[in-house]
Structure 1
Amino acid sequence: MQKEKLWTKDFISVSLVNFVMMLSMYLLIVTMASYATDAYDASTSMAGLASSIFIIGVLFARLYGGKEVARIGSKRMLIGGILFFVVITALYLIPSNIYVLLVVRFLHGIGIGFASTATGTIVAQVVPASRKGEGISYFSLSVILSTAIGPLIGLPMISQYGYESMFIFSLIVGMLCLPIALIVKEPVVDSSAADARSRGFNLAKYLEPNALPVSIVMFVIALAYSGTLSFIASFAKEADLTEAGSMYFFVYAMAVLFSRPFTGKLMDAKGANFVAYPAMMAFALGMFTLSQANSGAVFLLAAALIGLGYGNFQSVAQTVAIKMTPPHRMGLATSTFFIMMDIGIGVGPFLLGYMVPDYGYRGLYLAMVPLIIAGVFIYYTLHGKKEKRLTQSA
């Protein structure tokens, strides 16, 4: 039996748009706190807010965008989101003050939130059902690669040419999204059932109930991961592992890059549980290894394990959220999944930061191991046992 085609023009185009868009975002997100401190003499808390308020903007857009994408159209939302965030990116070049910067960051998050909700919706609709796990795995590599390439480009650029050069480069990269997005053909989806819950307030207008169980698990796992995303540079400096620290996200991305094609195919063939449980255990082992790292080799081994674990669980969970949802609500399922993931990554640094003065970074990472193990049991309770029945009946 011939496989349904995955690498279509639309799949390649929307994946490329997502990569370029995320690259533009990650060029800024890893350096915004230091920019706020250097340019506006912001306090540590205000600098942290300058970085995290972006996530609030993203969440705001996802709540509205997920509800309205079926009505507005995914391509129209994508083009509008790109135009909006490109205009907002240009505002970074205008000298202002810390409060204006906070507003710009919030608005930037709104633009990215709308555009990324659209790309997630389009890819969910263009990937064949029989290759959903494989397709989502490849698509989500666009985010993983941008998290590695963004810091690798942005940090040296700031060191050599200053913050303004980074803003200009981010603006140019963002503008490249538009011509690529214009060639994407919007999938035709039967939305006749989309208005069934449209009158009055209903939580299902903002969150997809079928996608919520696995999205709750993603919140727990993302909360644990946020400690590395925010504090890894500080931990590497404290542990005198600065050189290894500069390679952390590169090794993380390579582990994901080389494993995703296999894990996506395994999920389609064997079911989500076949990948989800080993991925969460690899993530827990990676966090334990990180907490004990006293050499560059062990530090980077932890990065690889975390990439294999968190990086692959993220794509599994996203695929499950989409597979459990009818086609006309895939946009809402996509936004529900990313809302929960973004909340975990957004509130994590704020909550986990309170542990550092008393327990240090090693204690923080060690404490994430039981949190991830708890995530395993939550996954089994909310989805894993159901997934087993679905796989057996398939």
Structure 2
Amino acid sequence: MEKEKPEIWSLRFILVIIVNALNGLAMYISNPIFANYLIIKGVGFEYTGIISSLLSWVALAFRPFSGAMSDRLNKKKLLIISYSIVGVCILFYAFVNSVPAIIAVRVIHGIAFAVSGTISMSFATTFIPKESTAEGISYLGLSILLGSMIGPQIGKLIFDKLGINMVFYISTIITLICLLVLTLIEYEHPIRSSKLQQELRMEDFFAKELILYVVLISILSLGNGIISYYLVDFGDSRGIDNIALFFTVYSIAMLFMKPFVGKIQDKLGVKVILYPAFVVYAIGIFILAKAKSLLPCLIAAVFKGVGQGNGTPAIQAESVKTLSPERSGVAISTCFIGQDIGNAVGPIFASFIVKKTSYENMFLIYSGLLIIGLIIYLSFNIYKNRKGKLV
């Protein structure tokens, strides 16, 4: 008789989904207008990108520590502290005026962002049955995706109608609601052995077992940095109007795919998701490189949503499954390191190629990198298969 699969939709998991959705909404309401905020505060345009990106760079530097903290300390308490600091930082943006003060708040915000990002997913996995890890992480991604779809529009509307400070006030209120829901979640911190609790090893900061997945997720995330920064300029260079619809179509494609892909991965394995993800994503970027009108760009957006949108959570879920449950924090932080690297390197890679050649060649080269990623993964699995171990 086939064993019944544990139910994923417990009250605690539903509350975790709500917490992640609220946290994502607060972030996406305030982050997209941060460059406008800096200009209002008198920061020169040439410095807005540097100060805005401090959040990501500080988060990248602090990721390894967040994984170690997640695996050793009480996840719920850490989340309450980190979300509280995030809320205070968002509120402080409305009151600070000097550039050094803004930078100081941004750095503290980046540290809290790194901790909360890692621990929120690790915390969530404690309420997901192991047999449904991929499905559960897909739903987590879906909750954040909803915030990314509506948050920027809400933030822009508040900014236009009520001013920049009201954006930060409302984001802070949403973060407080997020904290309130978090306190309702019952959680018992597992007790580690005294030896494991005292010893701090390199594997607590970075999971070397996941190096393959770090490489793959970096390649997938490279496209986020490229497209976020250069898609609009690419559209202008080819006379393509309304190219920003790419992001809407991309989000909708992910919205439809996420509920099904996690279930497929849990049943058939990660390879069934990752092989097509790299192929589809590479085809989408190739279509984008050759696009001369809006329609091919929107088709490319669907391909990106299916490819990168499914590949990234598949790698995250497989990383959690690969390591033991007590190392879920370092599994997630290691994946995030790969994503942060890809997001940070993407714009630098793109600007170098575009300056030397063209947008088309830049997208074609990235499409080729995705195929290389597919070859790396295929070769590694063939190698492991010969040794009797499949990745």
TM-score using structure 1 length: 0.90
Higher mean displacement: 323-332 or 123-132: 123-132
CA distance change for structure 1 residues 11 and 34 in 2, over 3 Å: closer, same or farther?
A: same
The percent of aligned pairs where both chains have the same amino acid is 27
Q: CA deviation at 1:127?
A: 0.9
Q: 1:382 to 1:335 in 2, by over 3 A?
A: farther
Following superposition, the deviation at residue 384 of structure 1 comes to 7.3
How many residues are treated as equivalent by the alignment? Answer: 388
CA distance 1:19–1:386, change in 2 (3 Å): farther
Q: 2:312 — aligned with what?
A: 314
Can you list the C-alpha shifts for 1:18-48, whole angstroms capped at 9, x where unaligned?
A: 121122222233332343345324242x211
Deviation string, structure 1 residues 83-109 (Cα, Å, up to 9, x no partner): 100001011101413333222222112
Alpha-carbon RMSD across the aligned residues, in angstroms, is: 2.5
CA contact (8 A) 1:251 1:304 kept: yes
Cα gap change, 1:136 to 1:277, in 2 (>3 Å): same
User: Which deviates more from structure 2 when the two are superposed, residues 206-215 or residues 351-360?
Assistant: 351-360
Mapping of 1:71-82 within 5 angstroms? 71-82=72-83
- State the AA in 1 paired with 2:44: A
Residues 368-377 or 23-32, more deviating: 23-32
2:42 to 35, 40, 43: 40
Counterpart amino acid of residue 367 in structure 1: I
Contact kept? 1:19, 1:142, Cα under 8 Å? yes
Residue 289 (structure 1) shift:
1.7
1:172-207 deviations in Å (ceiling 9; x for gaps):
2222210111112225545228717825xx421211
Letter in 2 for 1:88: C
Measured at CA, do residues 155 and 374 of structure 1 come closer, stay the same or move farther in structure 2, by a change above 3 Å?
A: farther
**Residue 98 (structure 2) aligns with:** 97
Correspondence for 1:361 among 359, 369, 378: 359
1:263 corresponds to? 261
> Does residue 67 of the first structure (1) align with residue 68 of the second (2)?
yes
Q: Structure 2 stretches of 5 or more lacking a match?
A: none
Structure-2 change in CA distance of 1:79 and 1:13 (3 Å):
same
Q: Deviations over 1:320-356 (max 9, x none)?
A: 1101001111111111111221121123223322333
Name 2:183's counterpart in structure 1.
182
Mapped partners of 2:34, 2:232: distance in 1? 14
> Take 1:250 and 1:164, find their aligned partners in 2: how far apart are those partners?
27
Distance in 1 between residues matched to 2:188 and 2:265, nearest whole Å: 24
The residue that corresponds to 1:235 in the other structure is 234
Aligned to 2:151: 150
Which residue in 1 is equivalent to 2:202? 203
Q: Using a 3 Å threshold, how does the CA distance of structure 1 residues 207 and 79 change in structure 2: closer, same or farther?
A: same
Alignment partners' CA distance in 2, 1:359 and 1:157: 40
Aligned to 2:110: 109
CA gap of 1:208–1:334, structure 2 versus 1, over 3 A, is same
Q: 1:382 to 1:186 in 2, by over 3 A?
A: farther
Aligned with 1:282 (options 273, 277, 280): 280
Checking the alignment, whether the CA contact within 8 Å between 1:78 and 1:119 is kept in structure 2 is: yes
For residues 182 and 385 of structure 1, do their structure 2 counterparts lie closer, same or farther at Cα, with a shift above 3 Å needed?
Answer: farther
How far, CA to CA, are the matches of 1:207 and 1:197 in structure 2?
Answer: 18
1:42 partner amino acid: G
Counterpart secondary structure, 2:9: coil
Three-state SS of the structure 1 residue aligned to 2:6 is: coil
How many angstroms apart in 1 are the aligned matches of 2:260 and 2:161?
Answer: 39
- Check the 8 A contact 1:244/1:296 in 2, yes or no: yes
Quickly say closer, same or farther: Cα 1:104–1:368, change in 2 above 3 A.
same
Q: TM-score, normalised by structure 2?
A: 0.91
Amino acid at match of 1:217: L
Q: Which amino acid aligns with 1:28?
A: S
Give distance in 2, aligned partners of 1:125 and 1:314: 20
Q: Is the 8 A contact 1:18 1:116 kept in 2?
A: no
1:30 to 8, 32, 42: 32
Give the match for residue 326 of structure 2: 328
Structure 1 residue 268, shift from structure 2 partner: 1.2
Q: Tell me whether 216-225 or 267-276 shows the greater mean CA deviation.
A: 216-225
Note the residue ranges of structure 1 that are not aligned, 5 or more in a row.
Answer: none
Q: Following the alignment from structure 1 to structure 2, what is the Cα–Cα distance between the partners of residues 366 and 213?
A: 23
Give 3-state SS (helix, strand or coil) of 2:230's partner: helix
Does 2:220 correspond to 1:221?
Answer: yes
Q: Is the 8 A contact 2:22 2:178 kept in 1?
A: yes
Q: Distance between the aligned counterparts of 1:387 and 1:146, measured in 2? A: 41
